[in-house]
Amino acid sequence: MMVSRVFMVAALLVSATTVTTSRAEAQDARAAPNPAAIARVRAQYLKREVDIPMRDGTKLHTAIYTPRDTTRRVPILLMRTPYGIAPYGDTAYPTQLGPFPGLDVEGWIFVNQDVRGRYMSEGTYSFMTPNKGPDRKPGDLDESTDSYDTIEWILENIAHHNGRVGSWGNSAPGFFVAAGMIDAHPALTLAYPSAPMIDWWLGDDRHMNGLFKLSQTYNFLKNFDQPRTGLITNYPVGPNPGTTDGYAWHLDIGAFSNYGPGPLQNRVAFWDSVTAHPNYDAFWQARSLWKHTKNIKPAVLLVGGWYDVEDPYGMLRLNRSLQENSKSTKQMFVVGPWSHGGWNRADFATFGAFSNGGLTGQFFRDSIGAPAFRCLLKDDCKGQSFGGALVFEAGKNQWRRFDAWPPKAAAPRALYLRENGRVAFDAPTNSATTGSTTRTTFADRYVSDPAKPVPYTMGVTFGFNAQYPTEDQRFASRRPDVLTYRSDVLTRDVTVAGPMSALLHIASTGTDADFIVKLIDQYPNDAAPEYDGGPRLDAYERLVRPGVARARWRKGFDKNIPLAVNVADSIRVPLDDVFHTFKKGHRIVVQVQSTWYPAVDRNPQRFVPNIYRATNADFQSATMTVFRSSARPSQLTLNILPQ
């Protein structure tokens, strides 16, 4: 495979860039009052709002911005969103149109639409509307048909277009882009799903491998999913928790069953749906959009961020599905050092304590994003190369281009948990074992107490801390309920590229358990700040990637099997892809724990068929055993890229 460096980032920049992580805030950031920007858009565009009928007669509210200059035929950019197309009204204009700052100066046609059942659109809203797929019958509706009908209408009712449509959207709007490119309208030429939601049980906002993302989901749904009364331009705001300390607030509520009745249960429909479907059943599988992304006709620019705390899974799963099931699709995959959607608007010279070595967000917009729109929608290519994978390598702070992701040259290699808190690429050589029981010295143990769960972040926040993906993990390694294993100081660089998976040989005194595995980059004792004003990095334990798994699903997500008390078993913990170089002089660190709160819900550690029905009495402490013998070698498999 050809591998070429697109550019080697250089100068360290002064200011750190942080962005909001709320999808609603991210979507509405363009609408922040800026009189000069609003006046510029108003001077260039005419606006009208219409209600476009779908094939079942439901009308979707749509804002259309057409350039005042009608001397050219231009592309159409379509954005369908559940977050509202504010500002509403024919005389009200936003500060920006389109996905990137400055793209609207090119005088294209911009169409923004409230999706079915949201804000000013008729109908009933469905979270991640199931795609009807190849069994679609006349009269069947999904987001593919709504997208098709919308494009058909705007082509017939808007003048001066060139017959090409590009769809774009980040996060939930990214889901609508991905859904709309299935059985797409022939005019849909380019789809730009940015951080798309693809599977809400295996990953993305609501779950991580089935573990419920508690703080993020509660914080989001308490505002987003309040019921509406008729067509509205603003949704009612949910209850204020009265604190920024989400860890203490959720812990004080106790068992999941204690959340209702209240501000969510019996009021927010999707909260009730989540609690009724704890397993990967037909409800969730019907919302697994990646299963339907076959033989996609439009070109696809798929983009995500390594540090996205909201939808880190969707970009990876959609990329994999396109490579497997849509090989003829013209596609490009881009992943940078970004949080949720930030590449569309922020520069990202830094993230948290770490420099990215350059204006990575601006680089994407100016060198990849906007040129791709121009090339595919109006044949203004200017040598633009569209395709393959462009991926940011953390640690070395450089962009690299591959034919596809993950790179074929990366080879799996096992990193073993060893004695005395070590990890090594050499397998353990001891062979002692005593059958199926836990009576062996070749193991480590800790007591997991759900009443005192390990926090996922040092920060105090009610929602989700956007900085946690690179946070210093020393706060966790100092806890007695976290096992920490360190490599020797590396004598050469080690580059990890692609997905990872931990195989833990375990036992528990409980009948259910969670296992969280974290891959960490420990910096040298004398590490200096990476940018002016940044913190010192002496022995900093930089989180590279976490992974979670629940023991009840260790035999498959379709099987709900309790653990046998004190009987050796095994569980695989998937970790999402990374592209990270552990540099010479650093150490590779692996942590194992059983709580990660309130990023994910707590396991009672006593098996309950529906974990959301557990009561306070079901929660118990349990002693976890992690084996590290030659007979039961717990390990983390990394995909290593040759230097």
Q: For domain 4-199+287-402, which architecture applies?
A: 3-Layer(aba) Sandwich (3.40)
Q: How far apart are CA 205 and CA 310, in angstroms?
A: 5
pLDDT (0 to 100) of residue 627 = 98
Residue 396 has pLDDT above 70, yes or no: yes
Residue 6 has pLDDT above 60, yes or no: no
Mean pLDDT of 412-432: 92
Q: How far apart are CA 596 and CA 611, in angstroms?
A: 16
Residue 4 has pLDDT above 60, yes or no: no
- Specify the 3-state DSSP secondary structure of 416: strand
Q: Is the pTM of this model over 0.85?
A: yes
pLDDT (0 to 100) of residue 382 = 87
Q: For domain 411-641, which architecture applies?
A: Sandwich (2.60)
Mean pLDDT of 546-567: 96
Tens of pLDDT, residue by residue over 496-552, are 999 999 999 999 999 999 999 999 999 999 999 999 999 999 999 999 999 999 999
pLDDT (0 to 100) of residue 13 = 26
Q: Please report which helix (H) or strand (E) contains residue 285, including its range.
A: helix 282-285
**226 pLDDT band (50/70/90 cuts)?**
confident
**612 pLDDT band (50/70/90 cuts)?**
very high
pLDDT (0 to 100) of residue 264 = 67
pLDDT (0 to 100) of residue 440 = 58
Residue 341 has pLDDT above 80, yes or no: yes
- Specify the 3-state DSSP secondary structure of 635: strand
Q: How far apart are CA 628 and CA 605, in angstroms?
A: 22
359 vs 225: which has the higher pLDDT: 359
- Nearest one of 640, 21, 3 to 338, comparing CA atoms: 21
Q: How far apart are CA 101 and CA 190, in angstroms?
A: 19
Mean pLDDT, the chain, whole residue set: 92
For helices 214-224 and 269-276, what crossing angle results, to 10°?
150
**Strands 388-393 vs 587-593: parallel, antiparallel or unpaired:** unpaired
- Nearest one of 162, 189, 191, 158 to 174, comparing CA atoms: 191
Domains of the chain: which residue ranges?
4-199+287-402, 411-641
- The answer to whether the beta carbons of residues 200 and 213 sit under 8 Å apart is no
Q: How far apart are CA 360 and CA 350, in angstroms?
A: 9
- In the numeric block, which tokens belong to residue 36? 């000069």
Q: How far apart are CA 338 and CA 346, in angstroms?
A: 9
